[in-house]
Copies of this chain bind each other. A is one copy, B any other.
Amino acid sequence: MDQHIKPVELAKAYRLLNHGPTVLVSASHGGVQNVMSAAWSCALDFAPPKVTVVLDKATATRPLVEQSGYFVLQVPNMAQLQLTYDVGHTSAVDTPDKLAKADVQLFKVEGYDVPLVVGSSAWLICKVLPEPRNEQVYDLFIGEVVAAYADDRVFQNGHWAFENADPQWRSLHYIAGGNFYAIGEAVVADVTGAK
């Protein structure tokens, strides 16, 4: 594992998603691995940390999540802009070599049989909390975060450091039609409550 990839304490895992980035969703089952992008993913709880993600029934990743009971959310960055678009707009259903075409490389961390995408800024390994009605009616999956990691070049001591890192580390926020926004400048509210 890259020396820059450091564990994130679970109590602060929500911060990896709190600013609403588009994510990459990865999963594997029976020797098959896949990755898709998802703009519709969100933190759901602090402790234990939980997340939501919408996985359409047409995706090839969804059955891997359903069968294995696990998925990984990764926070991609500017260096992964094309990869993020590509894995969201081709499907392994009709493009079996989708991952190779999108230049996706995968790695594993000890203790979890799930694929992680090389080069991302953060990774949240999630165990599905089965909610059949949500999954069927809304395509909405809930996961409990069981382990989290981040690259210490952009997430340090429990805080994103976008403002100090190379711009290639900025998170991506998808709109439509290939158009994203990168995350921008840090701004701070007055927390003294003097108002």
Contact = CB atoms under 8 A, between A and B. Distances in A.
B189 A85 contact: yes
A184 B187 contact: no
Contacts of A15: 175-176
A134 to B, nearest CB: 7
A178 B43 CA distance: 18
A106 interface: no
Contact of A181 (B19, B22, B50, B78): B19
Given A140-B52, A181-B160, A190-B82, A41 B39 contact: no
11 contacts: A19-B173, A20-B21, A20-B173, A40-B42, A42-B52, A44-B54, A50-B138, A85-B189, A89-B193, A179-B186, A180-B188
Interface residues of A, number: 59
Contacts of A182: 184-185, 187
A81 interface: yes
B175 A191 contact: no
Given A138-B45, A184-B181, A18 B191 contact: no
